């Protein structure tokens, strides 16, 4: 949840009848879900007559489409991630792939998005996007090249132009959303989400981009089998992030893409044109890992941090816990948490310089389905608060608001009608919400990818204990390093951990 001079972007008014739909939609990764990193060193000399991308693209109508949507995309993902080392890696790998593109004259703008989400997508005109969360998952340069070449395949195949035919329907849907969400910020965010959905391609287009991408990968001198290898890493990460891996598909970023076995077989089949696996192409693991050493991992200080079941925001000076079994998803506009049996939580805040009554605030009309007789004034860890219940369609809601200084913080908890999970879930939130102590604020530091060298006697279990920010240390360690359960470590081997 982002802090903008003390005013949270969550100050939009969200009607509780829309809560569950908003929560469900927000955990679906938009666009072309890929996962990658970057860092290839092509032997390309600087041009004696350099041209900037905007000059090259100024008469390209496709680039104008991308330019129009670019600011919305960047804003919805928390801005750009600025790191010179990472940006150089991305630019170098893109340059190597451009040289073997089906359209070498196509120029590209690569933007690294400051988001822990795992995502990559393309817009018409050569606008490519990767998140820093995606960069943290890849283990070598060829895996990054696999995803970038796939996205470039969408651009060269003009899939974005074909997708434009769906825009009219999206515009209508966005207008409806902006009317339902009463604040101007809400309308803008709804429009941005609509544009992100337009970044999704059909299954046939995804398969076509896979074919183009593997060819580019091999012809650029990379390990052509990286595409299949990275698809497996993406699937493993999706399973790790699911609250219930057996039933919960909403968190699977591959759900809007062709099924993994189909894509894996296709990627391997086309990779065989470049030789047997392990015998051709460069992986670039060493320089890639060196290139992402220190990459910000997880949440940024402006959005607060998730540490297991706890959300902490040093700049706002607040913290709270969610029940065991819940997964916290820290979005720019709100903190969302999903748990077993379709239980969901939304946390955000609104500015309140007038010091209005919290019971009157709950009753002021922003909660559809409110049961007025349930409104109660209370205190939570010494802070003024109020609670209420609401009911809409298939859902029961607990509404809890808490005043701290000039902010009103809001918890909305949703459960299926009649569920017994509402009370214990809401009680956990209330009991754990409090101010952070100065020592807690001072000790709160961002996490980053750190590259370590395996020493004699090290095991996966011993190295995983050095992981921070998760209570599933071994699982995340294995996923980040693409290590099977039976993997044996070799002294001198380079691996990733998450640490301060």
pLDDT in tens, the chain (500 residues): 766 434 343 333 333 333 333 333 222 222 343 222 223 233 333 333 333 334 434 455 566 777 888 998 888 888 999 999 999 988 888 888 888 887 777 788 889 999 888 888 888 888 888 889 889 999 999 998 998 888 888 787 654 444 443 443 343 333 333 333 333 444 444 444 444 444 455 667 777 788 888 899 999 999 999 999 988 998 898 888 775 444 333 333 444 445 567 778 888 998 998 999 988 899 989 889 999 999 999 888 888 999 889 999 999 999 999 999 998 888 777 899 999 989 999 999 999 888 889 999 999 988 889 999 999 999 999 999 999 999 988 899 999 999 999 999 999 999 999 999 999 999 999 999 999 999 999 999 999 999 999 999 999 999 999 999 888 999 999 999 999 999 999 999 999 999 98
Sole residue written with tokens 């609250």: 243
The Cα–Cα gap between 96 and 93 comes to 5
What pLDDT is recorded for position 202? 65
State residue 191's pLDDT score: 43
Cβ proximity of 389 and 395 under 8 Å: no
* Residues 223 and 267 sit within 8 Å (Cβ to Cβ): no
In this prediction, residue 59 carries a pLDDT of: 53
C-beta contacts of 245-248 below 8 A and 24+ residues apart: 248/338
Angle made by CA atoms 487, 491, 496, in degrees to the nearest 5: 65
For residues 239 and 478, give the distance between their C-alpha atoms in angstroms, rounded to a whole number.
12
The tokens for 303 are 């959005």
What DSSP assignment string belongs to 151-187? HHHHHHTTHHHHHGGGHHHHHHHHHHHHHHS-SHHHH
The phi, psi pair for 327, rounded to 5°, reads -115, 125
d(CA 467, CA 475): 10
Determine if the pTM surpasses 0.85: no
For 130, the 3-state DSSP assignment is strand
Query: What pLDDT shows up at residue 3?
Result: 60
């Amino acid at each position: 949840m982002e802090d903008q001079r003390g005013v949270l972007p969550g100050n939009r008014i969200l009607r509780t009848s829309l809560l569950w739909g908003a929560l469900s939609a927000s955990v679906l990764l938009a666009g072309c879900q890929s996962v990658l990193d970057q860092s290839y060193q092509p032997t390309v000399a600087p041009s004696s007559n350099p041209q900037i991308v905007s000059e090259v693209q100024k008469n390209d109508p496709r680039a104008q489409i991308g330019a129009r949507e670019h600011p919305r995309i960047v804003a919805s993902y928390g801005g750009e991630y600025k790191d010179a080392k990472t940006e150089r890696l991305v630019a170098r790998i893109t340059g190597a792939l451009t040289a073997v593109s089906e359209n070498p004259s196509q120029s590209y703008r690569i933007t690294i998005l400051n988001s822990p989400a795992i995502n990559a997508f393309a817009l018409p005109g050569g606008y490519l996007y990767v998140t820093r969360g995606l960069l943290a998952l890849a283990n070598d340069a060829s895996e990054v090249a696999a995803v970038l070449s796939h996205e470039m395949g969408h651009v060269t195949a003009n899939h974005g132009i074909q997708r434009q035919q769906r825009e009219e329907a999206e515009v209508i849907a966005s207008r409806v959303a902006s009317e339902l969400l009463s604040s101007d910020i809400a309308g803008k965010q709804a429009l941005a989400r609509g544009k992100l959905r337009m970044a999704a391609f059909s299954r046939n287009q995804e398969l076509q981009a896979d074919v183009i991408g593997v060819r580019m990968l091999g012809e650029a001198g990379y390990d052509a089998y990286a595409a299949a290898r990275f698809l497996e890493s993406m699937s493993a990460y999706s399973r790790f992030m699911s609250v219930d891996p057996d039933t919960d598909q909403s968190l699977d970023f591959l759900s809007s893409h062709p099924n993994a076995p189909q894509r894996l077989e296709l990627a391997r089949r086309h990779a065989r044109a470049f030789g047997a696996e392990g015998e051709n192409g460069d992986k670039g693991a060493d320089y890639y890992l060196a290139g992402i050493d220190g990459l910000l991992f997880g949440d940024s200080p402006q959005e607060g941090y998730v540490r297991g079941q706890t959300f902490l925001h040093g700049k706002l000076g607040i913290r709270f816990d969610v029940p065991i079994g819940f997964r916290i998803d820290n979005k720019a506009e709100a903190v969302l948490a999903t748990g077993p049996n379709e239980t969901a939580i939304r946390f955000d805040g609104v500015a309140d310089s007038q010091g209005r009554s919290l019971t009157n605030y709950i009753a002021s009309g922003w909660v559809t389905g409110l049961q007025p007789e349930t409104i109660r004034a209370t205190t939570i860890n010494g802070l003024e608060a109020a609670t209420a219940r609401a009911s809409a369609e298939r859902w029961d809601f607990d509404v809890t608001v808490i005043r701290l200084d000039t902010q009103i913080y809001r918890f909305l908890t949703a459960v299926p009608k009649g569920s017994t999970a509402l009370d214990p879930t809401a009680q956990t939130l209330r009991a754990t919400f409090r101010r952070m102590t100065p020592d807690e604020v001072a000790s709160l530091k961002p996490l980053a990818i750190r590259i370590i060298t395996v020493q004699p006697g090290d095991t996966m279990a011993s190295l995983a204990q050095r992981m921070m920010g998760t209570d599933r240390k071994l699982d995340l360690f294995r996923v980040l390093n693409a290590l099977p359960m039976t993997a044996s470590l070799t002294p001198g081997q380079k691996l990733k951990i998450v640490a301060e």
